[in-house]
């Protein structure tokens, strides 16, 4: 921890040297433009790879950058970012070489995390024909990373939080990105969010909750 504390003091000194009022301004509140939903992998630092600083990006990270509809943590972050912070852009960012995707592609048991990885296996099932037609393992895993990001962006579209936000005057824009660790570059997958509207009759919900009959 000594290194962590020393780095912190150096960072504070550098910031104050640039702007003596830096932390006073930061303490006034946050108005981030972006919500970043990324993988927990330590090689994918959200602020560093996007060139954003403190106060510019709200962040949620989990194994394999999943948007799971029963994940109260993710949904709480999403609701706060959209309804309170009014973020303009929501990014789902995966990365090539993702261990979670690779684990989901196999059939080994890892313990508790298997239940989480099941969500990625569902993505593989949905795209089984395409995935299994790629014989090179590295290329197949890279494509699985991309398909996972695309499906997580679509999962965002299914949430009532995003559906309600889309009815507002300034709805957030949704993006799917992949980070290439070997190159350091981000790739925009240009996810067709509008095209997903063909499933509106299945996933759309009204803003006022309807009563359920059991």
Q: Which residues are catalytic?
A: 39, 41, 43, 95, 98
Contacts of 212 (CB under 8 A, 6+ apart): none
CB distance 28 to 81 below 8 Å: no
Q: At 56, which helix (H) or strand (E)?
A: none
The two counts, helices (H) then strands (E), for the chain are: 10, 5
Distance CA 195, CA 159 (A): 16
Per the CB < 8 A criterion, the answer to whether 54 and 109 are in contact is no
Q: Are 176 and 191 in contact (CB under 8 A)?
A: yes
């Amino acid at each position: 921890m000594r290194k962590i504390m020393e780095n912190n003091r150096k960072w504070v000194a550098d910031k104050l040297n640039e702007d003596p009022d830096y932390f006073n301004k930061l303490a006034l509140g946050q108005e981030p433009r972006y919500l970043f939903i990324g993988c927990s992998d330590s090689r994918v630092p959200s602020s560093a790879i996007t060139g954003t600083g403190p106060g510019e990006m709200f962040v949620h990270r989990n194994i394999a950058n999943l948007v799971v509809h029963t994940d109260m943590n993710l949904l709480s972050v999403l609701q706060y970012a959209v309804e309170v912070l009014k973020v303009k852009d929501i990014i789902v960012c995966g990365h090539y070489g993702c261990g979670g995707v690779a684990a989901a592609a196999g059939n080994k048991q890892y313990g508790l995390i298997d239940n989480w990885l099941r969500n990625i296996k569902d993505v593989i099932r949905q795209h089984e024909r395409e995935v299994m037609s790629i014989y090179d393992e590295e290329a197949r895993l890279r494509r699985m990373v991309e398909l996972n990001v695309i499906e997580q962006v679509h999962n965002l579209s299914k949430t009532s939080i995003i559906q309600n936000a889309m009815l507002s005057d300034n709805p957030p824009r949704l993006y799917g990105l992949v980070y290439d660790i070997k190159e350091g570059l981000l790739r925009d997958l240009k996810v067709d969010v509008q095209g997903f509207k063909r499933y509106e009759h299945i996933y759309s919900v009204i803003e006022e909750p309807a009563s359920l009959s059991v």
